[in-house]
A and B are shown apart, each in its own frame.
Chain A
Amino acid sequence: ETGVTQTPRHLVMGMTNKKSLKCEQHLGHNAMYWYKQSAKKPLELMFVYNFKEQTENNSVPSRFSPECPNSSHLFLHLHTLQPEDSALYLCASSPALQRNGANVLTFGAGSRLTVL
């Protein structure tokens, strides 16, 4: 188990459901990220939080709503999703956002989402 834990690991939901993905890191990091991983596409950065403040929203549709109550926890709230939103959602953390540092990310195992 890595220092970044994601739950649930698998989720199947209908287009009208509301669900949430949870991410928790035990590394003392201050930056947290959501990425979307779809087949045959590069990882897509969705959201970035640094010290609980959102610093990046990469043109993500509003049916995805992030929440970062503290530096250790990150949620992704899901509402009225589309089948094309089916993907692996990866959470990551790093010590803090650094413009001039290596900023190495530690990833969780991901939540596999299927939208019916």
Chain B
Amino acid sequence: AQSVTQLGSHVSVSEGALVLLRCNYSSSVPPYLFWYVQYPNQGLQLLLKYTSAATLVKGINGFEAEFKKSETSFHLTKPSAHMSDAAEYFCAVRNFGNEKLTFGTGTRLTIIP
């Protein structure tokens, strides 16, 4: 079985501050891990993905995530928040050998001017 837990349904950070969105997964086999972003009135857009290559993955818009097997985590970070980062962020997991993608409940990021 596979599942994803996103801690914090809402996160607020000041413009220019560090963004940290948390994602923990459970998986019995090596997983593929993804972060998607959803801007208002839009569909989900892929930010980055982990596919068992480098553990530190760089994505679009200055975001990156680090796969930590010992902590079963795949937290998303960005050094300096921008107003345009305000959106909802979804972590997702797919087990190797399984077609199904399982999403977390999402974290809404608000940027304070």
Contacts and interface: CB of A to CB of B under 8 A. Distances in A.
Contacts of B12: none
Interface stretch (B15-23, B58-66, B79-87, B94-102): B94-102
Contacts of A102: 32, 49, 51, 94
Interface residues of B, number: 26
A22 to B, nearest CB: 15
A81 interface: no
Nearest to B33: A102
Nearest to A105: B101
Interface string A34-76: 0000001111010010000001100000000000000000000
A99 B100 CA distance: 9
Given A4-B43, A108-B43, A109-B42, A103 B105 contact: no
B43 A2 contact: yes
Nearest to A50: B99
Nearest to A88: B43
Contacts of A109: 41-43
A99 B96 CA distance: 7
Given A102-B49, A102-B51, A42 B102 contact: yes
Interface string A70-101: 00000000000000000000101000011110
A43 B90 contact: yes
Contacts of A92: 43-44
A103 B43 contact: no
Nearest to B4: A42
17 contacts: A2-B43, A40-B9, A41-B105, A48-B99, A90-B43, A90-B44, A97-B99, A102-B32, A103-B99, A103-B101, A104-B46, A104-B49, A106-B46, A107-B43, A107-B44, A107-B45, A109-B41
Given A56-B99, A56-B100, A103-B94, 17 more contacts: A4-B43, A40-B105, A41-B105, A42-B104, A42-B105, A43-B90, A55-B99, A99-B98, A99-B99, A100-B96, A102-B32, A102-B49, A104-B46, A105-B44, A105-B101, A106-B46, A110-B42
